[in-house]
């Protein structure tokens, strides 16, 4: 393709001089940070290591804000949360070998939750690559092989001039629906070598839009317009694509009840007359969904948790809108629409005919009353009291991050998120230790509002070191630690299955004293005082810890 002379960039004399005479002392590391700045990054997360020092040295010559965590996996969780909260790419700077590998559990969560994380890892010097077993520090036979099954795409750099293009391609991949983590790796010598390449300026990495095919929209609209009992399941894709407004408008146009998955919390108003809330682990809800003659599933693969542990058997027609093509019809036959949720809902909203169903809200209320009666019969007053206290203390716009712990499992079903994109957990991959480092990332993204993290004592020990990070950056986050002396949910699972539990009881520190040793104010509370103590902590500047000694129980499952 030829270009006219007029298409060429027109530079001022000063700009031309800067391009032709770049500043001395720049390295491959500078090309990394200049590329990130050119793409619009403002904040990076990570942890330095020997092979990555070229990148970290370049940070001081940039305008990028660096948030350094104490463990690479926690840095990955922080980047994950930053990506979820902002919808922007979160750069994660990592070293080689152990540093890279320690981030993998966090990248798995980012992949499961569609969080746009751009991991940039160093590598051993170029001469050692290729699996030759030269004995370099941190050497792996094939570092990429460890991440390839987890991330969306892998981008390899072997020379300085490849750096901007590799980072731009990774950036575009991370932001193309479905969002997700991507991997760039650059050898140590390339990061350290001086470069005379011009300073990286404007970069273009526009993600591809994912639109629904029109014939599928027409077919789906026909099914929904003529349905007798349409129901909508809204998943995390609705939240990721900022489509909650479109979802509500479609539900109201169709008079269709809506249930949100645990990843889709907040996608539909909790108190809306058509809201089935999030009681997916409940047979009454499952029965209601099975009875729909047309079921619209938006932004969910209907995996284990969203299908009441695969006991869900839809009897009507299923329409599935999903940005991840691999999830289309992966669990149930459907009219599969490969599309970003926002684009598909927008087209459907225009194409469907208004239908009125005066009894829809009444049927929803009946289901919710059955659920309430089932829970009330189990005498779980303490658990509901604690969850209500958290809801009372937490401002509506404040994001919350929940670890894998009993209170979080309650929150998945029973917590009113009130706003889209405010409640997040590690339920995608299900790893421990997510809550607090994720809250660090969210607080870094928006330090003007408080952030809540919720962990059990077992999960808290995964990320206790990040109290130092919260203090160092003076982040406005409160950590609620529910201390039940062990891995509470595993204790329940094992006792139910085998009659007794093994390996679940934990010795743990005095969390209040430990937090205070980091210079972080802490308080030990009770269920009765929780709302007040948590509210005070969230209102105070900087980090804080609230410890609740309590033995919580789960509600009875309905899938067994």
Per-residue pLDDT tens digits for 400-453: 999 999 999 999 999 999 999 999 999 999 999 999 999 999 999 999 999 999
Structure tokens at 526: 């009770």
How far apart (Å, rounded) are the C-alpha atoms in residues 515 and 471? Answer: 10
How far apart (Å, rounded) are the C-alpha atoms in residues 458 and 487? Answer: 6
- With tokens 């894709």, the residue in question is 237
- The HSE-up count of residue 249 (CA atoms within 13 Å, CB side) is 14
- SS3 for 416? coil
Backbone angles phi, psi at 546, to 5 degrees: -125, 125
Nearest residue to 78 via CA among 118, 41, 119, 46: 46
Q: Report yes or no: 132 and 126 within 8 Å, Cβ to Cβ.
A: no
Prediction pTM value: 0.96
**Residue 491 host element (H or E):** helix 488-498
How far apart (Å, rounded) are the C-alpha atoms in residues 329 and 335? Answer: 8
Strand pairing report for 275-277 and 258-260: parallel
Nearest residue to 40 via CA among 207, 188, 182, 179: 207
How far apart (Å, rounded) are the C-alpha atoms in residues 214 and 317? Answer: 19
Backbone angles phi, psi at 423, to 5 degrees: -115, 125
Cis preceding-peptide flag for 178 (omega within 30 of 0) = yes
How far apart (Å, rounded) are the C-alpha atoms in residues 103 and 426? Answer: 15
How far apart (Å, rounded) are the C-alpha atoms in residues 58 and 55? Answer: 5
DSSP 513-538: HHHHHTT--EEE--TTTHHHHHHHHH
Per-residue pLDDT tens digits for 329-366: 999 999 999 999 999 999 999 999 999 999 999 999 99
Nearest residue to 545 via CA among 517, 524, 526: 524
How far apart (Å, rounded) are the C-alpha atoms in residues 66 and 325? Answer: 35
Q: Report yes or no: 180 and 323 within 8 Å, Cβ to Cβ.
A: no
**Residue 264 host element (H or E):** none
Per-residue pLDDT tens digits for 228-277: 999 999 999 999 999 999 999 999 999 999 999 999 999 999 999 999 99
pLDDT of 7: 55
pLDDT of 13: 79
Q: Report yes or no: 408 and 430 within 8 Å, Cβ to Cβ.
A: no
Structure tokens at 369: 């009353």
pLDDT of 1: 45
Instruction: Classify the phi-psi angles of 316: left when phi > 0, otherwise alpha if psi is within -120 to 50, otherwise beta.
Output: beta
- List average pLDDT for each run of 10 residues in the chain, which is 560 residues long: 53 75 91 97 97 97 97 98 97 97 98 97 90 86 94 97 97 97 97 94 89 98 98 97 98 98 97 98 97 98 94 97 97 97 98 96 98 97 98 98 97 97 94 97 97 97 97 98 94 93 95 98 98 98 98 93
Q: Report yes or no: 188 and 54 within 8 Å, Cβ to Cβ.
A: yes
Q: Report yes or no: 488 and 548 within 8 Å, Cβ to Cβ.
A: no
Structure tokens at 456: 């059990």
> What interhelical angle do 406-414 and 488-498 show, nearest 10?
90
pLDDT of 2: 44
Q: Report yes or no: 524 and 247 within 8 Å, Cβ to Cβ.
A: no
How far apart (Å, rounded) are the C-alpha atoms in residues 296 and 222? Answer: 12
How far apart (Å, rounded) are the C-alpha atoms in residues 183 and 155? Answer: 6
Structure tokens at 291: 């009875």
Nearest residue to 134 via CA among 188, 94, 183: 188
Q: Report yes or no: 241 and 177 within 8 Å, Cβ to Cβ.
A: yes
Instruction: Classify the phi-psi angles of 269: left when phi > 0, otherwise alpha if psi is within -120 to 50, otherwise beta.
Output: beta
How far CA 412 is from CA of 280, 321, 340, 555, in Å, comes to 9, 22, 24, 12
Runs of H (alpha helix) within 356-482 = 360-376, 381-393, 406-414, 435-445, 457-460, 466-472
DSSP 315-382: -SEEEEEESSGGGTTSSS--EEEES-HHHHHHHHHHHSPP---TTHHHHHHHHHHHHHHHHHTT--HH
- SS3 for 159? coil
């Amino acid at each position: 393709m030829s270009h006219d002379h007029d298409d060429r960039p027109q530079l001022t004399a000063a700009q031309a001089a800067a391009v032709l005479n770049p500043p001395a002392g720049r390295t491959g590391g500078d090309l990394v940070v200049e590329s990130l700045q050119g793409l619009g990054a403002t904040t990076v997360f990570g942890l330095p290591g020997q092979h990555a020092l070229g990148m970290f040295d370049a940070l001081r010559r940039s305008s990028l804000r660096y948030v350094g965590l104490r463990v690479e996996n926690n840095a990955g969780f922080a980047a994950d949360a930053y990506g979820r909260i902002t919808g922007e790419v979160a750069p994660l700077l990592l070293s080689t070998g152990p540093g890279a590998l320690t981030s993998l559990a966090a990248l798995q969560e980012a992949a499961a939750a569609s969080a746009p994380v751009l991991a940039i890892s160093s590598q051993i010097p170029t001469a050692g690559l290729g699996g030759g077993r030269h004995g370099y520090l941190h050497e792996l036979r094939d570092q990429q092989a460890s991440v390839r099954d987890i991330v969306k795409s892998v981008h390899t750099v072997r020379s300085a001039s490849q750096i901007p293009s590799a980072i731009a391609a990774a950036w575009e991949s991370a932001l193309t629906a479905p969002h997700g983590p991507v991997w760039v790796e650059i050898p140590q010598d390339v990061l350290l070598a001086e470069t005379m390449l011009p300073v990286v300026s404007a970069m273009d990495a526009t993600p591809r839009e994912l639109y629904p095919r029109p014939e599928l929209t027409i077919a789906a609209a026909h099914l929904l317009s003529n349905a007798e009992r349409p129901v909508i399941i809204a998943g995390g894709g609705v939240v990721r694509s900022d489509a909650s407004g479109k979802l509500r408008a479609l539900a109201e146009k169709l008079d269709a009840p809506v249930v949100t998955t645990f990843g889709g919390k907040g996608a539909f108003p909790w108190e809306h007359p058509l809201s089935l809330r999030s009681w997916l682990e409940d047979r009454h809800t499952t029965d209601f969904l099975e009875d729909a003659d047309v079921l619209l599933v938006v932004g969910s693969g209907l995996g284990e948790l969203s299908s009441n542990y695969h006991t869900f058997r839809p009897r009507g027609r299923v329409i599935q809108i999903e940005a991840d093509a691999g999830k289309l019809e992966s669990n149930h036959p459907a009219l599969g629409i490969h599309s970003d949720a926002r684009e598909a809902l927008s087209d459907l909203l225009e194409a469907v005919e208004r239908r009125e169903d005066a009894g829809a809200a009444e049927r929803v209320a009946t289901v919710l009353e059955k659920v309430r009666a089932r829970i009330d019969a189990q005498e779980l007053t303490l658990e509901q009291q604690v969850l209500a206290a958290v809801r009372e203390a937490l401002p509506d716009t404040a994001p919350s991050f929940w670890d894998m712990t009993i209170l979080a499992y309650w929150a998945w079903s029973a917590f009113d998120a009130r706003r889209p994109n405010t409640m997040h957990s590690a339920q995608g991959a299900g790893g421990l230790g997510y809550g607090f480092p994720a809250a660090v990332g969210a607080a870094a993204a928006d330090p003007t509002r408080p952030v809540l993290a919720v962990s059990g004592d077992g999960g808290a020990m995964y990320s206790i070191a990040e109290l130092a990070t919260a203090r160092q950056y003076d982040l406005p986050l409160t950590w609620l630690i529910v201390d039940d002396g062990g891995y509470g949910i595993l204790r329940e699972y094992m006792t139910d299955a085998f009659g007794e539990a093994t390996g679940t009881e934990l010795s743990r520190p005095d969390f209040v004293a430990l937090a205070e040793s980091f210079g972080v104010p802490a308080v030990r509370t009770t269920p009765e005082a929780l709302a007040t103590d948590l509210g005070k902590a969230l209102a105070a500047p900087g980090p804080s810890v609230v410890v609740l000694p309590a033995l919580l129980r789960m509600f009875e499952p309905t899938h067994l």
